[in-house]
Amino acid sequence: MDNLIKALLSGILFGLWPMLMNRSGLNGYLASGVFALGGLILVAPFAISYGAVIGRVSWLMAILAAACSASGLLIFNDLLAKITPQAVGRLFVIMLIAQILVPAVYHLSKNGLTMDKLFGFLAAVIAAYLLMR
């Protein structure tokens, strides 16, 4: 599958799951458990089919990534369980902005700020503002 199609499809699916989970009626912790268990069940066959790569893995980085992901999932699902379906889109935009800022700031720290990137950030801030109105 082409990388652009994979990026678009994953974006659509990542955009859909919070709206569906919000309507599930589960509390944030149970929703996180269902999400994690469902992910494990669906991902495990793919992970197993690729075999072990234990020697080439930075387990510290993998564990830190898992801890960040699990913490974010618990916080986000707790939020989803307590808001109305009408508020999901607005709060999801805020979460996505924060999520985008982390790699964007990292990229800038490694590559520097150019005028193109500055205008890109300004356009993103304006777009986010307009989307949340």
List of long-range contacts for 130-133, beta carbons under 8 Å, 24+ apart: 131/93, 132/90, 132/93, 132/94
CA distance 38 to 42: 6
Same domain, 68 and 104: no
Q: Tell me what the mean pLDDT of segment 56-83 comes to.
A: 92
* pLDDT score of 82: 92
Same domain, 77 and 16: yes
> Do 60 and 124 belong to one domain?
no
CA atoms of 77 and 97, how far apart (whole Å): 17
Domain ranges, residue 73: 1-82
- Residue 121, pLDDT score: 82
Residue 94 has pLDDT above 70, yes or no: yes
- Is 70 exceeded by the pLDDT of residue 52? no
Query: Do the Cβ atoms of 2 and 50 come closer than 8 Å?
Result: no
Q: How confident is the model over 66-92, as a mean pLDDT?
A: 91
Better pLDDT: 1 or 45: 45
- Note whether 132 and 93 are within 8 A (CB): yes
Count of domains in the chain?
2
H-run or E-run covering 36: helix 28-49
- Residue 105: pLDDT over 90: no
CA distances from 72 to 12, 66, 96, 113 (A): 19, 10, 12, 28
**pLDDT score, position 16:** 92
